[in-house]
Structure 1
Amino acid sequence: MLSEKYGRTYHYPFSPGTTSDDRINHTYWEDIQQIGTLTHTEKLDGENNCLSCHGVFARSHAAPTTSPWTRELRERWELMKNDLGDIEIFGENLYAVHSIEYRKLETHFYVFAVRYLDKWLSWEEVKFYAALFDLPTVPELKIDSVKDFTQASLQQQVISLAQEPSVFGSRDPQTGMDCTREGVVTRNISEYPVSEFARNVFKYVRKGHVKTDEHWTRNWKRARLIWESGKEKQNELETDR
């Protein structure tokens, strides 16, 4: 294995979108009380990809990915690879539509974490390295001081954030109807050791989120960017004239 894959993020116990192989952190409140400040970010519906000096990886880090929906990202990596060193950049690749179709995407890759050797870097450093390589980060929804919350009020905060639409305009590709965001990821705003990942990152996923089967890769389609949608509408108007 060329590098260690991204750890599995444990669900909050009140996350309704768990499946049979998901893990739940039943002691999340005890873990959160050891953290000073939390940041809540939007959980985007794509593929977890990692950019390291060794290549572009999907969930498995045994070998770099060669999937067609990472072609654009692999081209970008070619321009970055000699500057990454021991930095590994993790992000959500939205090039292929999964269970949510986003209508306001400006690009297809959004950074959510950066690993440096045995540490997951702070959220500020994640934003720093993303900007350094001219990459956007996942939407930051809220920053909270843990001391300002009870367990019940934190739970309500996460559920409330999860019930909003995506920052990028979320639509169900099967029905064409607007829908809520996939969920929320809460993390320690500070850096923490790789070995402590499960005690510093938590997620909430909406109920019944995954509507595409495991073979979505056979009939996948590319997600349009916001400027492409406008261009398409303009072409339609010109055709109608």
Structure 2
Amino acid sequence: MSISTKYGRTYHYPFSPGTTSDDRINADYWENIKVMDTIVHTEKLDGENNCLSKYGVFARSHAAPTTSPWTQDIRMKWDLLKNDLGEIELFGENLYAVHSIQYQKLEHHYYVFAVRCMDTWLSWEEVKFYAALFDFPTVPELKIIEVSTLSAEQLKNDVLTLSQQNSSLLSFDIHTDTVCTCEGIVSRNTAGFSTTVFAENVFKYVRKGHVKTDEHWTRNWKRAKLKWEYS
């Protein structure tokens, strides 16, 4: 039995080209979005989804806390703040180990993208508040938009335009050692919402040809440098 509930599965936009056979697509995304007040586009980072709760640090499975070597750093930080978390659960991209993209402007190895409190995913403003409270950055915020000013076509164009940019953290494809565009875009309702309607409030776009991390990357993983470690 799981200690807590893992992060919900994020459905792709129908125009997201980086889907695989086991990915899910939200064909009704515009029906979901058009009833919102505002949405925020954030950068999808190439790391491991780690949850910090009062019970420990979790990776994919929430059956037991993770003990992987690349989470040692975040587990040490968790030990300092665990008694202050209460019912708050922080979800973030752990970039300590390089996957398929290497970032050259990392200021931290853990970037918060969501916060859950019991059965509620907190608003984007609350996400930024709690990230700052626990001294973590959030994933790069790219654009906040009032939905009343949007059409479905404008939304699509915004996502496509943002996805063609380089990462805010300066992304390099480790296989070619060349600058690459960001891995993708995650859009979410800026308001808080129930955990039962996650798929109707969070959407993602993954670029075509994004590099899939080999399943055996853990055998020869390396620590990601922070920006001041580059000469």
State the TM-score bracket (shorter-chain normalisation): over 0.9
TM-score by length of 2: 0.98
Match of 2:176 in 1: 175
CA deviations 1:3-38 (Å, max 9, x no partner) are: 000001000000011011111000000000121100
Q: CA RMSD in A?
A: 0.7
Residue 228 of structure 1 and its aligned partner are, at CA, apart by: 1.1
Alignment-derived partner of residue 117 in structure 1 = 118
Aligned to 2:80: 79
Structure 1 partner of 2:4 = 3
Structure 1 residue 149: Cα displacement: 1.0
The one-letter amino acid paired with 2:8 is G
SS of the residue 1:40 aligns to? strand
> Identity of paired residues, percent?
68
Aligned to 2:195: 194
**1:49 aligns to what?**
50
Quick check: 23-32 or 202-211, which moved more? Answer: 202-211
Return the letter of the residue paired with 1:148.
T
Partner of 2:136: 135
Q: Deviations over 1:84-109 (max 9, x none)?
A: 01100000000111111101101100
Measure the CA separation in 1 of the matches of 2:39 and 2:140.
14
Residue 103 (1) aligns with residue 104 (2) = yes
Tell me the residue number matched to 1:161.
Answer: 162
**Deviations 1:191-210 (Å, cap 9, x if unpaired)?**
00000100000000011213
Q: CA deviation at 1:212?
A: 2.5
Please list every run of 5 or more consecutive structure 2 residues that lacks an aligned counterpart in the other structure. Answer: none
Alpha-carbon separation, structure 2, partners of 1:107 and 1:88: 19
Which letter does structure 1 place at the counterpart of 2:205? Answer: Y
Instruction: Give the counterpart letter for 2:142 in structure 1.
Output: L
SS in structure 1 at match of 2:179:
coil
- Residue 18 of structure 1 corresponds to which residue in structure 2? 19
Q: Which runs of 5+ in 1 are unaligned?
A: 231-241
| Structure 1 partner of 2:28 | 27
How many aligned positions are there? Answer: 230
Moved more, 209-218 or 171-180: 209-218
Offset from partner CA, 1:155-194 (integer Å, 9 cap, x none): 0100100110000001111111100000000000000000
Secondary structure of 2:14's counterpart equals coil
Q: Deviations over 1:62-99 (max 9, x none)?
A: 00000010000000000000000110000000011111
TM-score, normalization: structure 1?
0.94
